[in-house]
Amino acid sequence: MEIPKILIIDDEKAIQTAMQKALKNEKYSLCFADNGKDGIQALKKEKPTLVFLDLRMPEMDGIEFLKKIKLTHDAPYTVAVITGHGDDKDIELCYGLGITNFLRKPLSMTEICCLAKRCIEAKQIELELAEHRTNLQGLVEQQTATIRKQLQFQQTIIDSIPTPIYFKDTSLTLIGVNTAFCQWFGLKKNKGPGLTFEKILSETAAEKDRQKDEQLLKKGKTQEYQGKLDTKGGVGNDIVFSKAIFKNETGETGGIIGALFDVTEREKAQRKLTEKSQALKHANMSLRILIKQLSDAQSEDRTSNMPNLKELVMPSSEQLEAMLDSPTERGYLENIMLNLNRVTSNFSKQLALMNLGLSPKEIQVADLIRIGLSNKESAIQMNVTKSTIEFHRDNLRKKLGLKHEKKNLRAYILALDAKMQQKK
């Protein structure tokens, strides 16, 4: 440990000698100055812990010395003034200049030692405390900087979330919001904290939100509900409110954290789906009626009732087609009607009776050609390949005597169907 240094500023050699004798057995390093001017230079050079200062000196007295050094509480040294009896005005001036320690003449050896010890110990303690304060201040600043960075990082994360998020204290005043919240409500950045929902929402929406918040603060845990979010600007969206309470550092309820989820598009889709479901119910009902009519018609004499079947079924098919939006659904209906046309036609039966040696598959292909289906469409109807349809068409041309004729197969079949109808 460094030996404490004492500076004695006094123009009387007897005082310097007396103080040196008094402190000779103490572990101090002593240095001297004869006046205030030399004392200032020694103060800068020696850097003492304690200064004994006489008030009456030539060139620069003690009062002028004190005015020059401008003693403060955090100075690295303590000044003790040596004064005689009757110097009350000087003592009053010294107090005003920051002096609290005095050594009165005639000097006492014991008083010199005790005062020196007390002043040096007090200054050392004061310097240690100042160092601790500096260290503590640095630690606090470091921790504060760390916390600030953490808060900034957390805010950056919250701001990156596209969902509006907000924090309220227990008085239901906003204490934090993210960027999405500001954008949603048209607020400038950092203008959300300090506001209440009464300043943002319509009176009705704000009152409902306050009631829900009060319930949440009373019961704790979490809360979720759906409602209309009507703002001051008149925007009314379908919103899911998701809320939870958060605790403060003492474990008590600190407030509410909430998130707003816009489900307007979902609600629109749900309503559209409901309308679609209703339309499909009506379509299914019409389809059941159509099938029932077809079944009833099949139970009667096919030949005599086929015209009636078309009259009964066709109007229902047109109504059903008007209800359907999807191309797939329309395709199913088209397939039903296509097969219905085949059922109501006697062409296949009459063609089979002509003894042309046609197979059932060739008769089916001929019927599909009659109603105008292409090879690809016929293949889909029969669930075969296109090459299979082409094979059956080639056989048809052979058996109908058209193999080497430049006649259109469908035109020939339509003409054949017309002759069959005339015979009836």
302 — pLDDT class (breaks 50, 70, 90): very low
Same domain, 21 and 125: yes
238 — pLDDT class (breaks 50, 70, 90): confident
Domain span holding position 400: 345-424
Same domain, 195 and 206: yes
> At residue 397, does pLDDT exceed 80?
yes
> At residue 35, does pLDDT exceed 90?
yes
Q: How many domains does the chain have?
A: 4
Question: Which among 104, 107, 101, 132 is positioned nearest to 119, based on CA atoms?
Answer: 101
Q: Rounded to the nearest 5 degrees, what angle is found at the Cα of 109, between the Cα atoms of 108 and 111? A: 65
Rounded to two decimals, the pTM is 0.42
Does some domain include residue 385?
Answer: yes
Average pLDDT over residues 140-151: 83
Of the listed ranges 125-134, 154-163, 183-192, 312-321, the one predicted with least confidence:
312-321
pLDDT at position 160, please? 84
pLDDT at position 301, please? 47
Mean pLDDT of the residues in the chain: 82
Average pLDDT over residues 186-199: 84
> At residue 272, does pLDDT exceed 70?
yes
Sign of CA pseudo-dihedral 178, 180, 185, 186: positive
Does some domain include residue 106?
Answer: yes
Contact at 8 Å (CB) between 72 and 66?
no
pLDDT at position 303, please? 46
Tokens 């889909």, located at residue? 380
Same domain, 168 and 245: yes
Contact at 8 Å (CB) between 346 and 306?
yes
199, 234, 262: which is the final residue of a domain? 262
> At residue 317, does pLDDT exceed 70?
no
Half-sphere exposure of 163 (CA within 13 A, CB side): 13
* 321-377 tens-digit pLDDT: 666 666 666 666 666 666 665 555 677 778 878 878 888 888 888 888 888 888 888
List the CATH number of the domain containing 64.
3.40.50.2300
pLDDT at position 84, please? 79
Contact at 8 Å (CB) between 59 and 83?
no
Same domain, 127 and 9: yes
Does some domain include residue 40?
Answer: yes
Does some domain include residue 171?
Answer: yes
Of the listed ranges 258-272, 298-312, 357-371, 410-424, the one predicted with least confidence:
298-312
For the packed helices 88-96 and 62-69, what is the interaxial angle rounded to 10 degrees? 10
Maximal C-alpha separation, the chain: 161
Of the listed ranges 61-65, 145-149, 347-351, 367-371, the one predicted with least confidence:
347-351
